[in-house]
Structure 1
């Protein structure tokens, strides 16, 4: 394998001896990409509850977060998406490169219920256009995520 980018997320995966496949995703999501891979891609969303607590939601790229379901999972009356300018100071990541692995703080994290049954999921590797493919069970265990019905 050629020169591999080592992000904080990858260092954490290595330290915990979790099997993964690092992918430069500049080609993912294009029309010439096999559908099998694009269905595995998940986005990491950060939201703030009325309690001012931050929550992380991992959902399939093609889906939209249902804020009512997300609030229910987080046991909040209401949640709002975190403004982009607050992403870096709170997570250590920028939009498009926000990984659920290796955030500045450990936030309560939820993975879409249906995704927990998949063989593998693809999440951000901590940089824009850089992703990691791993088993959802490994991801859940590593970051202490819960599963919940989160999408519309």
Structure 2
């Protein structure tokens, strides 16, 4: 069990775990998950951690085939600027390795923003805390567990 799965269990939400064999040569962890699980890429969401104004961190969750707008994540978080967080800061803050960062069960609860396209989905897939492991859950449950909110995030 990963901290992500444990957080879903403890919250007593409905979820499903999907596992696949991760290929270390895969260029995109999220697109690999969509392909290997036979899913449309707009249903699989990646977890990105950004640095806000060079001081604090926040989490952006968006479809794997899309690009994060730094302006929009900064605006959503009430910051002036956003940039991708240093990988070591991401691993320290989340407790996960890159490519397996889940928005659930992170060591530190960070401000979390889920792209608004998830509002129209009954379930979405996010990393369950390691490469090759996805958790399917309702977007509203994801927001409840992360204390997050919907926001426009895409370029």
Q: TM-score, normalised by structure 1?
A: 0.89
Unaligned 5+ residue runs, structure 1? 1-5
Give the paired residue count: 145
Offset of 1:143 from its aligned partner?
Answer: 1.2
Aligned position for 1:34: 38
Distance in 1, Cα, partners of 2:47 & 2:20: 15
CA 124–51 in structure 1, closer or farther in 2 if over 3 Å, else same: same
SS of aligned partner of 1:39: helix
Aligned position for 1:17: 12
Aligned position for 1:3: none
Unaligned 5+ residue runs, structure 2? 22-31
Q: After the TM superposition, which segments of 4 or more aligned residues of structure 1 sit over 4 Å from their partners?
A: none
Check the 8 A contact 1:51/1:76 in 2, yes or no.
no
Distance in 2, Cα, partners of 1:105 & 1:41: 23
Tell me the alpha carbon deviations over residues 24-77 of structure 1, each in whole angstroms, 9 at most, x when there is no partner.
1437333x75344x3311000000111611100000001000001111101111
Distance in 1, Cα, partners of 2:74 & 2:37: 34
Distance in 1, Cα, partners of 2:102 & 2:110: 12
The answer to whether residue 39 in structure 2 is matched with residue 44 in structure 1 is: no
The answer to whether residue 87 in structure 2 is matched with residue 84 in structure 1 is: yes
Check the 8 A contact 1:112/1:147 in 2, yes or no.
yes
